[in-house]
Amino acid sequence: MNRTVPAVRLRVPTDEDAVAWHRVFDDPDVMEFQGGSPAELSVYEELTARQRRHDAERGFCLWSMVDDADRVIGFTGAQPWPHAWGPRGEIEIGWRLGRAHWGRGYVTAAARQTLERLRAAGVPVVVAMVDADNARSIAVTERLGMRLTEVFTTPTSRRRGNCYRLEL
Ligand SMILES: CC(C)(COP(=O)(O)OP(=O)(O)OC[C@H]1O[C@@H](n2cnc3c(N)ncnc32)[C@H](O)[C@@H]1OP(=O)(O)O)[C@@H](O)C(=O)NCCC(=O)NCCS
């Protein structure tokens, strides 16, 4: 199928982007597989600050996605897996998009840009950890050509987490 690829720009999240992420993700659909309820602003202040550190240290991070009207619509990018369980020591690609922007290919386009940047940074392998019921996110891993290699059980919610992998 020949579809238009939406214009999307990736940039290191600014301090103000914490407010944008908080607003765009303040939706139970977006948070269904991230604990179920919207997170506090302080969570995004810490998350965006951490991404600026990753960018400074590694040259990549979870970037803000900006559309052609210069609006922040979500994030896509990569960071070191941040938990003590799961694919420790690996680089994880991740995405989260405002509900109004689903169904247009934004994240697939942003994830392809991310893979190019990771290759350029010399990252050999990338993983994606996805709740086994998160069909939309699993569909993104499939569009990227990632393959399911491991299954974890999340320690607190006891949910099945699929680990997808791609050699770069
Ligand atoms: C997971 C998530 C990012 C997927 O969003 P999405 O819009 O379905 O994904 P994409 O941006 O890749 O777009 C694919 C959709 O756009 C359509 N599309 C249109 N043009 C397209 C193009 N050029 N390329 C790819 N897909 C295109 C596809 O058909 C598909 O829609 P469909 O599933 O209704 O058929 C989104 O649901 C989300 O943010 N969820 C909440 C947070 C979350 O769960 N994050 C992942 C944690 S692991």
Q: What is the pLDDT of residues 89-111, one digit of tens each?
A: 999 999 999 999 999 999 999 99
| Residue of 37, 76, 108 best suited for mutating to test ligand 1, as the one with most atoms within 8 Å of CB | 108
Please check whether residue 4 lies inside any domain of the structure: no
Per-residue confidence (pLDDT) for residue 3, from 0 to 100: 85
> How far apart are alpha carbons 73 and 8 in whole angstroms?
9
- The per-type count for the chain, helices as H runs and strands as E runs, is 4, 7
Please check whether residue 38 lies inside any domain of the structure: yes
Q: Into how many domains does the chain fold?
A: 1
Please check whether residue 32 lies inside any domain of the structure: yes
What pLDDT digit, counting tens, does each position of 55-79 carry? 999 999 999 999 999 999 999 999 9
Which pair of structure tokens corresponds to residue 13?
Answer: 């999240």
Pocket flag, ligand 1, residue 3 (CB < 6 Å): yes
Domain that holds residue 76: 9-167
Which atom of ligand 1 is the closest one to the Cα of 130?
Answer: 48
Give the model's confidence band at 2: pLDDT under 50 very low, under 70 low, under 90 confident, else very high: low
Please check whether residue 128 lies inside any domain of the structure: yes
First-residue to last-residue Cα distance in the chain: 25
Cα(39) to centroid(ligand 1), Å: 21
Per-residue confidence (pLDDT) for residue 93, from 0 to 100: 98
Please check whether residue 70 lies inside any domain of the structure: yes
Q: Whose CA is nearest to atom 40 of ligand 1?
A: 30
Which atom of ligand 1 is the closest one to the Cα of 134?
Answer: 44
What pLDDT digit, counting tens, does each position of 14-55 carry? 999 999 999 999 999 999 999 889 999 999 999 999 999 999
Percent of the chain surpassing pLDDT 70: 99
Please check whether residue 1 lies inside any domain of the structure: no
CATH of the domain at 78: 3.40.630.30
> How far apart are alpha carbons 107 and 90 in whole angstroms?
21
Record the pTM: 0.97
Question: What does each C-alpha distance from 67 to 34, 75, 79, 155 come to in angstroms?
Answer: 24, 11, 22, 36
| Residue of 92, 97, 136, 159 best suited for mutating to test ligand 1, as the one with most atoms within 8 Å of CB | 136
Q: 12 with 112: CB under 8 angstroms? A: no
Pocket flag, ligand 1, residue 130 (CB < 6 Å): yes
Please check whether residue 103 lies inside any domain of the structure: yes
Give the model's confidence band at 157: pLDDT under 50 very low, under 70 low, under 90 confident, else very high: confident
